[in-house]
Amino acid sequence: MAEAAASAEAAPSLAEALEREHHEIDAGIEAFGTGGAPEAEREALVAAIAALRRHIYLEEEFFFPALSEAGLVAPVFVMLREHGQMWRTLDALTLELRADAGNPEVRTLIRELTVQLQHHNGKEEQILYPQADTALDGQAAERLRTFLADGELPGDWVCQRAG
């Protein structure tokens, strides 16, 4: 496809690719309760939750270890803790959605998640993502790039600080 050929020529940096995932996930969450067809909104939210879990996975598995090795131990520690907080919100949200997507608790949890994401993503984009294209060696960068393209979250995976 011409589109695929064009994007292969101008491959985004890792920082851009990671930031793009933030925006795509945000869009799926923000669309909930905005007057669209309820079932479509629910599906978009479920997809965004899955995408966020996968995003957390790829950061913890393919990105953060290299950042820690590069000396960014403290910021990575904070990010892992925040992933744990978001993971618990996602678990609660998933349970509520299964029971009843119209439950007011769903809106409350979405607000909570939105605030968590704003703080978290802002820090990643300012402090960690600018290192993505320099801190990872060729092999690690390729692994991350490959996963970003079409990697799947292992079904039983939970983030490091979920407990």
Instruction: List contacts with Fe ion (CB under 5 A).
Output: 59, 124
Q: Contact, 148 vs 156, CB < 8 A?
A: no
Q: How far is the CB of 125 from Fe ion (least distance, A)?
A: 8
CA dihedral 146, 150, 154, 158 (to 10 degrees): 80
Q: How far is the CB of 72 from Fe ion (least distance, A)?
A: 13
Neighbours of 104 (CB within 10 A): 9
Nearer to Fe ion, 101 or 153 (CB): 153
Q: How far is the CB of 3 from Fe ion (least distance, A)?
A: 25
Nearer to Fe ion, 109 or 159 (CB): 159
Q: Contact, 13 vs 129, CB < 8 A?
A: no
